[in-house]
Amino acid sequence: MDYCKKCGNNAKNCCTSCKIVYYCSKECQVSDWKNHKSHCRSFEVKEKNFFLEKFSRFFLFFLKKIKSEEKVGRFLQAKRDISKGDLLIAENPIVIGPKYHGDDEDENSHSFNCVGCFERINVLYNKCPKCLWPACSSECGALSNPELHDIECQILRLGKGPRDKMNLKSIKEYYRSDILIALKILILQRKNPKKFKAIMEMEGNEKLRALTLNFRL
């Protein structure tokens, strides 16, 4: 349960900017803004300047004062001094899936992930009653959770199961938990286009940033 930053009562509405503090009413949020303003979102999002990146070689003389960060993709820039221990970002995940384990590709490994809560299991005694994928228990609460397994369960039900149910390699090839996150993302395209768009707009700029001073250090 979260509590109103102003009066201490139970609260369900968070600040839409920082998503860190909660308020029980609009009145409390407005009255507390003078105090919260200086502690609210401590950063702003900067976008890559594609024009400058493309034409910088022709205008080097005019671009001497341009920040090098403008050439390494989207990034966060602090808007105020940040103290040690400050909470900067608090967001719910867009999708939740199992952690990748090194032995997932080991044909001799008997380890699997529960399709609901993602707990590591070593036996296939229990399965989801609907799609028959491995589960820690047929009564695992995550199996019916709309934010966890229930998202993809209907699609997994269409599968026919491992070709050879007595062959460990065949079983491992069928119950590939590494495809679950990709499947969840594709489902979002229809169920929640806004979240899907957010994922598609994510950037991977590791190669560009590997050339910057901070990464070299």
Instruction: List the chain pLDDT tens, one digit each, 217 residues.
Output: 788 988 989 988 888 888 888 999 999 999 999 888 877 876 666 665 544 444 444 444 443 333 444 456 677 777 778 788 877 777 788 888 888 776 666 667 778 899 999 999 888 889 999 999 999 999 999 999 988 898 899 999 999 999 998 888 888 889 988 889 999 999 999 989 999 998 888 877 777 666 666 665 5
Would you state the pLDDT for residue 59? 45
Specify the DSSP class assigned to residue 192.
-
The owner of tokens 């400050």 is 86
Ranges of each domain in the chain = 1-41, 43-81, 102-199
Closest residue by Cα to residue 45 from 96, 88, 95 = 88
pLDDT of residue 214: 62
To the question of pTM greater than 0.85 for the whole model, the response is no
Helix (H, G, I), strand (E, B) or coil at 191: helix
Residues contacting 162, CB < 8 A, separation 6+:
170, 171, 173, 174, 175
Q: Write down the pLDDT at residue 185.
A: 92
What is residue 104's predicted lDDT score, i.e. its pLDDT?
Answer: 62
